[in-house]
Amino acid sequence: MLPAVDTSAILKLRQQILARNEGLQGFGQSQGLHQGLRGIGAPAAPEQPQFGTALNEALRSVSSIQDQASAATNSYETGQTHDLASVMIARQKAAIAFEATLQARNRLVGAYKDVMNMPL
């Protein structure tokens, strides 16, 4: 059947984002402006997963799921398999993975627009 989507990297990235968000919420309240700015430009620790890497892995996973769904559809259409239920499940998994990717892209574009529209 279809391989399971490796969500550990995505969950680690989510935890990082939440932790940084909590740290930034108290940015102006607990520290002076100049003290807080020193930590912003600091490079990330090398053991932390990079956003681009996690995004590439997620996109590859979605692409793999779609390829497997296409292969299952083709094998059903050519008569190599007669299990319609597994083909439909594979197609639904591909549709859900694509929809989740599309929603993540829409949120990222929205966040980018919000940042670009911020007054300086």
> What is the DSSP annotation of 19-73?
HHHHHHHTHHHHS-HHHHHHHHTSPPPTTSPPHHHHHHHHHHHHHHHHHHHHHHH
Regarding predicted confidence, which is higher, 27 or 22? Answer: 22
What is the rounded average pLDDT of the residues 29-47? Answer: 52
Q: What is the pLDDT of residue 34?
A: 47
Q: What is the pLDDT of residue 40?
A: 54
Average pLDDT score, the chain? 80
Q: What is the pLDDT of residue 36?
A: 46
The rounded distance, in Å, linking the Cα atoms of 16 and 42 is: 15
The rounded distance, in Å, linking the Cα atoms of 65 and 3 is: 8
Does pLDDT of 33 surpass 70?
Answer: no
The rounded distance, in Å, linking the Cα atoms of 75 and 91 is: 13
Report pLDDT digits (tens) over 56-106: 888 999 999 999 999 999 999 999 989 999 999 999 999 999 999 999 999
